Amino acid sequence: MSGADHETDVVVIGAGQAGLSAAYHLRRAGFANRSGFVVLDHGKRAGGAWQYRWPSLVLGKVHGIHDLPGMAFGTPDVTRPASEVVSEYFARFESVYDLPVLRPVDVQSVTREGERLIVSSPVESWAARAVISATGTWDRPFWPRYPGQETFAGRQLHTADYTGPEDFRGRRVVVVGGGSSAVQLLMEFAPLARATAWVTRRPPAWRDEPFSEDWGRNAVAKVDERVRAGLPPESVVSVTDLAVTPEVRAARAAGILDRRPMFDRITPDGVVWADGSRFDADVILWATGFRAAIDHLAPLHVREPGGGIRMDGTRVVLEPRLHLVGYGPSASTIGANRAGRAAVTEIRTLLRSER
Ligand code: FAD
């Protein structure tokens, strides 16, 4: 027996698409609530990170949300915020499948204690035979550093803090980042802003053809290769290129998406390029993506010298009782679904071999 407050076979950390998919497959495989598995989530309500997405991100603007296993998303109203609709869908899912989701439980560490992994929040701990970590990226917005950043007199925010276009009415805004969030937000607030500048490190990769399964598979394969090599994953979405929709075409024609190279430094009044040109700004919006939220795994020392966690499928090579789902190649709603199932299949085999 460990000194933990609770004993269970499997702890799932996180109740987003990835954690719920894993929970569904655990339930189907016959794991009982609480003694067999438990899902710990630090959100206030159902919805994973979707609940925090800005209200102007309506369902019609997202790439597409894949059904959770066993329950169709249906055809909800595309003009409603994704945050609301997805939260309702996830709540329904948790209730229909009677999933043991405990919230808010903030997992701060996973440690080893003999045959068990101990999952701890500030108030309770669980001893588990296997752990599925499905904590996404939302809690780790990435802010790059540039010279002079701390001197900027205006407002700096990350896309994770964006609440809607009114934030920028009458403002001069620099948007940093080459992903689809940068493009979407620019198109959304540029008509209200006084001026905008879009800067990216690399020229944006526009894709004229509609999204195809081949593109998706390619993107996932690139990220998979990185995590198998123990390198930090890039986001799947960041390697799928930017779709040229009719809306994007119009924004390009209007000059809203005229991209500039990365500036050289930040001053109190704006940003300056190496050639001396400048853009006076009230706001810098960092649309610079997210990193995996895996600080709670630090005590396990599973990071490789390359900075990432070496994976074989969803299994962590240095700790086979630990699976990461929604991480690297499975960081999309469809990838999260598959990863949840794959992790449970392996964990069943592992636990059977122990008995
Ligand atoms: P999340 O939804 O982030 O869930 C993680 C859960 O873990 C959260 O509930 C969080 O509260 C919890 N958690 C985190 N840390 C802890 C902790 N220490 N203790 C306890 N709980 C914790 N993908 C698509 O397929 N289609 C799209 O259209 C799409 N649009 C996107 C738009 C944006 C702006 C972003 C940022 C991402 C988008 N993605 C999209 C990616 C997609 O949202 C995720 O890859 C997918 O939802 C996977 O979810 P997840 O379960 O891994 O993570």
Any ligand 1 atom below 6 A from CB of 293: yes
Query: Where, residue-wise, is CATH 3.50.50.60 in the chain?
Result: 6-139+291-354, 155-205+241-286
- The whole-number mean pLDDT for each consecutive block of 10 residues of the chain, a chain of 355 residues, reads 91 98 97 94 97 92 90 94 97 98 98 97 98 97 96 97 95 96 96 97 85 74 85 70 89 95 98 98 96 96 92 95 94 91 97 85
Condensed to tens digits (0 to 9), the pLDDT of residues 219-249 reads 788 888 888 888 888 766 565 678 898 999 9
State which ligand 1 atom lies nearest to the alpha carbon of 18: 51
Residue 23 one-letter amino acid: A
Give yes or no for a contact between 165 and 188, defined as CB atoms under 8 angstroms apart.
Answer: yes
Does residue 241's CB lie within 6 angstroms of at least one atom of ligand 1?
no
For residues 179 and 185, what is the distance between their CA atoms, to the nearest angstrom?
A: 10
CA nearest neighbour of 66 among 326, 328, 342:
326
**Closest C-alpha residue for ligand 1 atom 42:** 332
Task: Calculate how far, in angstroms, residue 42's C-alpha sits from the geometric centre of ligand 1.
Answer: 13
Give the β-pairing of 315-316 and 311-312: antiparallel
Does residue 289's CB lie within 6 angstroms of at least one atom of ligand 1? no
Token digits of residue 15: 């109740």
Q: Give the dihedral of Cα atoms 345, 348, 349, 353; nearest 10 deg.
A: 170
Centre of ligand 1 to C-alpha 148, Å, is: 32
CA distance 279 to 291: 29
How many Å lie between the centroid of ligand 1 and the Cα of residue 351?
A: 28
**Residues, the chain:** 355
Smallest CA separation from ligand 1 atom 11, residue: 43
**Ligand 1 pocket, residue 294 CB under 6 Å:** no
User: Is any ligand 1 atom within 6 A of the Cβ of residue 83?
Assistant: no
- 62 C-alpha vs ligand 1 centroid, how far in Å? 13
Atom of ligand 1 nearest to the CA of 290: 36
Looking at residue 1, its pLDDT comes to 66
For 176-228, give the DSSP string. E--SHHHHHHHHHHTTTSSEEEEEESS---EE-SPP-HHHHHHHHHHHHHHHH
* pLDDT attached to residue 343: 98
pTM across the whole model: 0.94
The pLDDT score that the predictor gives to residue 236 is 63
Q: What is the pLDDT of residue 217?
A: 78
The domain defined by 155-205+241-286 carries CATH number 3.50.50.60: yes
Q: Whose CA is nearest to atom 21 of ligand 1?
A: 41
Q: Is 160 in the pocket of ligand 1 (CB under 6 A)?
A: no
Using a 6 Å cutoff on CB, does residue 333 contact ligand 1?
yes
Angle made by CA atoms 78, 80, 84, in degrees to the nearest 5: 125
CA distance 156 to 143: 10
* ipTM score assigned to the predicted complex: 0.97
Burial annotation 58-96 (CB, 10 A radius, 16+ → b, else e): bbebbeebbebbeeebeeeeeeebbbbbbbebbeebbee
State the Cα torsion 38-42-43-47 to the nearest 10°. -40
Question: Please, what is the average pLDDT of the chain?
Answer: 93
| Residue nearest ligand 1's atom 32 by CA | 62
Q: How far apart, in whole angstroms, are the C-alpha atoms of residue 192 and residue 266?
A: 24
Amino acid at 273: W
Ligand 1, atom 37: nearest CA belongs to which residue? Answer: 332
The domain 6-139+291-354 having CATH identifier 3.40.50.300: the answer here is: no
What gap in Å lies between CA 92 and CA 103, rounded to an integer? 16
- Compute, in angstroms, the gap from residue 129 CA to the centroid of ligand 1: 25
> CA 15, 102, 64: angle at the middle one, nearest 5?
20
Indicate which residue's Cα is closest to atom 15 of ligand 1. Answer: 135
> Measured from the CB, is residue 230 less than 6 Å from ligand 1?
no
| Contact residues for 134 (Cβ-Cβ < 8 A; gap 6+) | 12, 13, 14, 15, 16, 18, 19, 22, 324, 325, 326, 336, 340
The confidence score (pLDDT) of residue 113 equals 96
How does pLDDT run across 48-74, given as a tens digit for each residue?
Answer: 999 999 999 999 988 888 999 999 999
Looking at residue 67, the DSSP 8-state letter turns out to be P
Please identify which residue in the block is written with the tokens 């209007």. Answer: 254
